Amino acid sequence: MATLENQKIVLVTGGTGLVGQAIKKIATQQNDPLYHFIFVGSQQANLINFEETRNLFEKYKPNFVIHLAAMVGGLFKNLRQNVEFFRYNMSINDNILNCCRIYNVEKCVSCLSTCIFPDKITYPINETQLHLGPPHSSNEGYSYAKRMLEVLSRLYNNQYGSKFVCVVPTNVYGPHDNYNLEDSHVIPGLIHKCYNSMKQNSDFVVWGSGKPLRQFIFSEDLARLFLWVLKNYEKSEPLILSVAEKHEVSIETVATLISKSMNFNGNLIFDSSKADGQFKKTVSNERLMELIPDFQFTPIEIAIEESCQWFLQNYETARK
């Protein structure tokens, strides 16, 4: 049995958020005696500040880092604050990777997003297409900052022999999400809207046509994949973490599933006067399935049901 002295310390930035809490749950379930996980959020350190970031590394002296921390938000927050999304995320990523080098971290797994891929591109998207054109203009601040995280990781690997790898999840959802109606992602935002419609006995109004297509990944599935990458993925190239193309669904389908899971019996209306954003950004999970062919994703019907129930049971304390 490994003791704390010979366990590998894994520092998880953004550890209090959606993906961090899912990793915490799955790591606890797996109970691997070789790893000791430390989950930190913005209350422990402001990662935009280098000295605070360095103090965090000095305190824990991690062997591994899972880097999730970022300024994030939905379509409309991105449209309003592209400058802030670029500047803050560039600072966070620079500080984290610099500290990983200074403290000789064995491996850093950083989280990107499929929204950073080029807007005009052939589908399905694969890992080689990351830099082949500009991202969608709606979130280019966030997208370019995340692209530079991949570039900086590669430069560290080449110059210092680091082992910094980036993974690219599709749209993540699940317990502990951000349900703020102004800056949430699509699924938590729709869950909260549906809840309000039930309480107010009003129509459930979804912004946009409902036609755009997305590949959604349940946070607990993503957590299992993060831990697999941490322990098993030895290549330096980015890796897309996603359900298959055949599991891509429309926003209309998602809204309908949420209505069913929340037992909403009113009218579901799509407001086409609101922006849809990018129509589709289908990605290929072919490389992932070659590496881990037996991995089973949670069906979206089950995962949305679990997500809705978590929100209902934790409404008072959920981020909103």
Instruction: Report residue 162 CA to chain centroid gap.
Output: 23
Q: CB of 274 within 8 A of CB of 76?
A: no
Residue of higher predicted confidence among 95 and 118: 95
- For residue 276, the model assigns a pLDDT of 81
- For residue 74, the model assigns a pLDDT of 66
**Sign of the alpha-carbon dihedral angle for 294, 300, 305, 309:** positive
- For residue 13, the model assigns a pLDDT of 98
Burial tier of 27 (Cβ tally within 10 Å: 0-12, 13-18, 19+): buried
| 122-174: pLDDT as tens digits | 999 999 999 999 998 888 999 999 999 999 999 999 999 999 999 999 999 99
- Point out the catalytic residue in the list 35, 88, 142, 144: 142
- For residue 57, the model assigns a pLDDT of 98
Tokens of 39: 């989950």
- For residue 218, the model assigns a pLDDT of 98
- For residue 76, the model assigns a pLDDT of 65
The C-alpha atoms of residue 186 and residue 291 are separated, in whole angstroms, by: 30
DSSP per residue, 155-222: HHHHHH---EEEEEE-EEE-TT-B--TTT--HHHHHHHHHHHHHHHT--EEEES-S--EE-EEEHHHH
- For residue 1, the model assigns a pLDDT of 44
The C-alpha atoms of residue 223 and residue 118 are separated, in whole angstroms, by: 26
Q: CB of 102 within 8 A of CB of 57?
A: yes
User: What would the mean pLDDT of 206-231 be, rounded to a whole number?
Assistant: 96
Our answer to whether residue 160 is catalytic in this structure is no
Asked whether residue 3 carries a pLDDT value surpassing 60, the answer given is: no
Q: CB of 66 within 8 A of CB of 38?
A: no
- For residue 75, the model assigns a pLDDT of 66
| 67-93: pLDDT as tens digits | 999 987 666 676 778 899 999 999 999
| 237-290: pLDDT as tens digits | 999 999 999 999 999 999 999 999 999 999 999 999 988 877 888 999 999 999
